[in-house]
Amino acid sequence: MGKASKLSEVAKIAGVSPITASRAIRGNGYVSEAARERVLAAAAQLNYTPDMLARRMRGDKSKLIGVFVNNYGSLVVHEIAKAISQEARNIGYDILIFNAERFDGPGRAPTCDMLSKLCDGLVLLLPNGEDGYLEVIERQRIPAVFFSFDARDVSVPVVAVENREAARAAVEHLIGLGHRRIAFIGGSRATGQSGQRQKGYADALAAAGLPVLPELMVEGRFVQAGGYAATEQLLALEQLPTAIFAANDEMAFGAIDAIHSRGLEVPAQISVIGFDDIPTASGVFPTLSTMRQPLAQMAACAVDELVAMIDGAPVASKKLAFPMELVVRNSTGPAPAA
Amino acid sequence: MGKASKLSEVAKIAGVSPITASRAIRGNGYVSEAARERVLAAAAQLNYTPDMLARRMRGDKSKLIGVFVNNYGSLVVHEIAKAISQEARNIGYDILIFNAERFDGPGRAPTCDMLSKLCDGLVLLLPNGEDGYLEVIERQRIPAVFFSFDARDVSVPVVAVENREAARAAVEHLIGLGHRRIAFIGGSRATGQSGQRQKGYADALAAAGLPVLPELMVEGRFVQAGGYAATEQLLALEQLPTAIFAANDEMAFGAIDAIHSRGLEVPAQISVIGFDDIPTASGVFPTLSTMRQPLAQMAACAVDELVAMIDGAPVASKKLAFPMELVVRNSTGPAPAA
DNA sequence: GTGAAAGCGCTAACAT
DNA sequence: ATGTTAGCGCTTTCAC
């Protein structure tokens, strides 16, 4: 009743050699009906489960996908991980989530290394472009996909949204509503996505002949509290913006909160649009206009790419960018009459 | 530049035997200064990292805590995992999150088994009371802690909140505001927590001499959409409740949403109180009154218990129940004059 | 101070 | 149809 049992024990009870027991359990080679039954019975009796560690050490598949996350705090990360988990499950893989700010820290490298061996393939979520571990992956040609990454070209497939184009669409929505003084709340620069979104913001303004003003571009670290603080900065300006484009939904929530705290109304006085469309976006008040990320499709694509590599396809550079959809809800409205 | 390098390669370059290289790298036995330096240089040159899989197969510690999650969809789970991750990190452990609805499924058992071997200890988050894997853990005396579980007595430590008492406090808050017709939205019964919260709800009503009405007790599976649907049921009643107690915040969001959709106001016409106090609770409008779970403390406690067991303390039944704090925000107010 | 042997649990390849 | 050998990468005896 104590520790887990091993194959040799099962074999002994069944009166066969370990390898025969192994064959019987995996239904692999030739095993007589009689022997097979004795083995299976013994296994059941001992509650035997094969040691995947040992199997994996021999190089067998583990049917496990590792998801490396470096910003577990964020809600999008949660949603993405959920989507990947579902997709993986559908095709017979389980996922293991490993969480660290960086993967190249001193004590962390062996763990990453171990997990990369344990898992058949890896998905790196929002990896930091400067993380040294990215190079390890590229160098060792480990089957891997980067998810939501826009920092630079890499030699593995990258699944992401069309950050720049989508940001532009968000801002064009605001411009279409008559807004002329539009602020941008950016996130941290680690994955390169915020930078692209900022470019899209500038693209839209430029196309409409509007100036790109430094005082209207603030930073909120992709977190709600950061969005709140960034918005307070904006609300302290001489001339307030009439609309805010936040580089993710969580910062948009913070922005709305800050605006309400000042006794102003959304969208009557200031419109707010987010980015990502996490589930909460439709549950808050006012419901949040935002750009929707096709997470399920992206997750499916990432998993498919990964499994292809696991099954032998070469690891190659490949950019899979998904378009986003504008979701208009109640946080954006016509610009107030000046 | 290809695959990861192994100890024997390092040893060959350094001109020593593998075991000497091993000693040098771990700084363990006697190694001459000269040999040590050559080994370290060779290791650096080859980018060598020890294979934890192989180490672990020999029974060494991995400094890894496994977090088994069976309802990854929920936001509380995300918060709890984050808290545990932080605590673990503080004392030199990393965490690995494994996500499955159940852990006793056919293909899943070997993976669970493997992870339980790979990790020094396990935290089971919101485990399903009927999951057969719980018994495996109890039987094999694997160092483990159950987190947010209230289904039955088990032979491992359990870290949870005082579900029944806290639920009672939430409802007493509503009663104190003059509410007499109070509804309850429960979650799924898997962890036993919803049941305890429902008992607390009934306790409070009974203590105030109020009837416990079946039509006021509905089910929302702990998810926002479920809370929405459950509230629609309540809003279809002949006589509406003036307050709703939801067994978690996400269902409370759904409830507020449903109420708004009917053109009613929170809390003017119907008060809503949640349970957990996830971060979004203070960002929505109206801000959500709820019961706060002392997550950081709970996580610290769980990790401490676990590490004690990893370090040799016996695995024993132990109930660690934390009190919750009432957080009054803007979603609860005086009962409307009948 | 260093190395050889043995073994963690499993299975492919090669016998028999 | 079954068993033997060998080896995945590492480290704990036990020798020298």
Instruction: Name the DSSP letter for residue A151.
Output: S
- Asked if B186 and B194 count as a contact pair (C-beta separation under 8 A), the reply is yes
Q: The domain B3-50 is classified under which CATH number: 1.10.490.10, 3.30.1490.190, 1.10.260.40, 1.10.3720.10? A: 1.10.260.40
- Non-local (6+) Cβ contacts of B124 within 8 A are B68, B70, B134, B137, B144, B145, B146, B147, B149
Q: What is the DSSP code (8-state) at residue B17?
A: -
Check if residue A60 sits with its Cβ under 7 angstroms from strand C: yes
On whether the CB atoms of residues B328 and B286 are closer than 8 A, the answer is no
Of the candidates A53, A100, A283, the beta carbon closest to that of B114 is on A53
Instruction: Give the residues of chain A that fall short of pLDDT 70.
Output: 1-3, 72
- Interface touch B53/A57, C-beta < 8 Å: yes
Residue of A nearest to B81 (CA): A72
Q: pLDDT for B116-157, tens place per residue? A: 888 999 999 999 999 999 999 998 889 999 999 999 999 999
Question: How far in angstroms lies nucleotide C10's C1' from the CA of residue A23?
Answer: 11
* B140 closest CB neighbour out of A4, A75, A280: A4
CB-CB: which of B53, B82, B253 is closest to A53?
B53
Helix (H), strand (E) counts: chain A:
12, 12
Please give the pLDDT value at position B3. 67
Interface mutation vs chain A, best among B1, B25, B53, B86, most A CBs within 10 Å = B53
What percent of chain B has pLDDT above 70?
A: 99
CATH number of A64-161+295-323: 3.40.50.2300
- Residue A83: the pLDDT is 94
- Radius of gyration over every alpha carbon of chain B, rounded to an integer in angstroms: 26
Q: With beta carbons under 8 A apart, name residues in chain B contacting A286.
A: 285
Residue B97 pLDDT: 93
Contact A4 B113 (CB under 8 A): yes
B116: distance to nearest CA of chain A, Å? Answer: 10
Query: Which of A131-145, B40-54, B190-204 holds the top average pLDDT?
Result: B190-204
Max Cα–Cα distance, chain B, nearest Å: 90
What is the average pLDDT across B262-270?
97
Q: What is the pLDDT of residues A310-335, one digit of tens each?
A: 998 999 999 999 999 999 999 999 99
What is the distance, to the nearest Å, from the Cα of residue B240 to the centroid of all Cα atoms in its chain? Answer: 34
Q: Do B283 and A285 touch (CB under 8 A)?
A: no
Six-digit token string for A241? 């913006």
Going by pLDDT thresholds of 50, 70 and 90, the confidence category of residue B67 is very high
**Chain D: bases < 7 Å from a protein Cβ:** 1-5, 7-13
Q: How far apart, in whole angstroms, are the C-alpha atoms of residue A336 and residue B262?
A: 28
Dihedral (C-alpha) A157, A160, A164, A165: value to the nearest 10 degrees? 110
**Does the CB of A260 sit below 7 A from strand C?**
no
With CA atoms as reference, report the closest residue to A296 among A69, A67, A63, A90.
A90
Residue B4 sits at φ, ψ, to 5 deg, of -65, 150
What is the C-alpha to C-alpha distance for residues A37 and A146, in angstroms, rounded to an integer?
46
State the Cα–Cα distance between residues A301 and A313, nearest whole angstrom.
15
Q: Is the peptide bond before B286 cis (omega within 30 degrees of 0)?
A: yes
Q: Which of A54, A82, A98 sits opposite B72 (nearest CB)?
A: A82
Structure tokens at B79: 């918060």
Instruction: With CB atoms and an 8 Å threshold, state whether A285 touches B286.
Output: yes
pLDDT in tens, B277-312: 998 898 787 899 999 999 999 999 999 999 999 988
* pLDDT at residue A72, as a whole number: 67
Domain positions in chain A: 3-50, 64-161+295-323, 163-292
Strand C close to A18 by CB, under 7 A: yes
Task: Tell me the chain A residues in contact with residue B64 when contact means C-beta distances shorter than 8 Å.
Answer: 111
Are the beta carbons of B50 and B81 closer than 8 angstroms? no
As a whole number of angstroms, the distance between CA A62 and CA A52 comes to: 7
A30 touches strand D (CB under 7 A): yes
Q: Same CATH fold, B163-292 and B64-161+295-323?
A: yes
Residues of A in contact with B95 (CB under 8 A): 98-99
Residue nearest to nucleotide C11 (CA to C1'): A19
The answer to whether residue B1 scores a pLDDT higher than 50 is no
Backbone angles phi, psi at B24, to 5 degrees: -60, -45
Residues of B in contact with A72 (CB under 8 A): 81-82, 85
pLDDT of residue B312: 87
Q: Are strands B290-292 and B325-327 parallel, antiparallel or unpaired?
A: antiparallel
Polymer length of chain B:
338
Instruction: Tell if B22 CB is < 7 Å from nucleic strand D.
Output: yes
Other beta carbons less than 10 A from residue A68's beta carbon: 26
Closest by CA position to B328, among listed B268, B269, B267 = B267
A110, B110 Cβ separation under 8 angstroms: no
Q: Which amino acid is at B250?
A: E
Which stretches of chain B are DSSP H helices? Answer: 7-14, 18-26, 33-46, 52-57, 75-90, 108-118, 132-140, 163-176, 193-207, 224-235, 249-261, 295-310
Residues 222-281 of B, Cβ under 7 A from nucleic strand D = none
d(CA A87, CA A101) in angstroms, rounded, equals 25
B contact test, residue of A84, A114, A136, A155 with most B CBs within 10 A: A114
Phi, psi of B97 (to 5 degrees): -100, 125
Residue B2 — very low, low, confident or very high, per pLDDT cuts 50/70/90?
Answer: low
Which residues from chain B sit within 8 angstroms of residue A3, using beta carbons? 140
How far are the Cα atoms of A27, A40, A50, A65, A143 from residue A22, in angstroms, in the given order?
8, 10, 9, 25, 29
Q: Which two tokens stand for residue B197?
A: 């919260």
Choose the mutation target among B94, B140, B228, B248 for the interface with A, i.e. most A CBs under 10 Å.
B94
**Which of A85, A99, A140 lies nearest to residue B72, judging by beta carbons?**
A85
Token pair of A231 as six digits:
């918005």
**Interchain proximity B279–A224, CB inside 8 Å:** yes
For B22, the 3-state DSSP assignment is helix
State the pLDDT at residue A1.
37
Give the Cα separation of A313 and B146 in Å (integer).
41
CB burial string A260-272: b at 16+ within 10 A, e below: beeeeebbeebbb
B111·A64 Cβ contact <8 A: yes
Q: Kindly report the bases of strand C lying within 7 A of a protein C-beta atom.
A: 1-5, 7-13
CATH assignment of B163-292, among 3.90.1330.10, 2.70.150.10, 3.40.50.720, 3.40.50.2300 = 3.40.50.2300
Mean pLDDT of the region B262-269? 97
Q: Cα–Cα distances in Å, from A24 out to A21, A39, B108?
A: 5, 7, 19
Predicted local distance difference test score (pLDDT) of residue A240? 97
The token pair that represents B72 in the structure block: 């990854």
Backbone angles phi, psi at B2, to 5 degrees: -85, -110
Name every chain A residue with its beta carbon within 8 A of the beta carbon of B107. 63, 92, 94
**Facing A50 at nearest CB: one of B2, B110, B283:** B110
Shortest CA gap B141–chain A (Å): 7
pTM: 0.91
What mean pLDDT comes out for the span B88-112? 87
* Rg, chain A, Cα only: 26
Strand C contacts in B 22-41 (CB under 7 A): 23, 29-32, 34-35
Local structure of B151: helix, strand or coil: coil
Residues on chain B touching A63 (C-beta within 8 angstroms): 107, 111
Coil vs helix vs strand at B183: strand
Q: What is the 3-state secondary structure (H, E, C) of B204-268?
A: HHHHCCCCCCHHHEEECCCCHHHHHHHHHHHHCCCCCCCEEEECCHHHHHHHHHHHHHCCCCCCC
Contact flag, residue A61 CB and nucleic strand C, below 7 A: no
| Strand C neighbours among B 52-71, CB < 7 A | 54, 57-59
Q: What is the distance between the alpha carbons of residues A223 and A76, in angstroms, rounded to a whole number? A: 11
Tell if the CB–CB gap between B254 and A283 is shorter than 8 Å.
yes
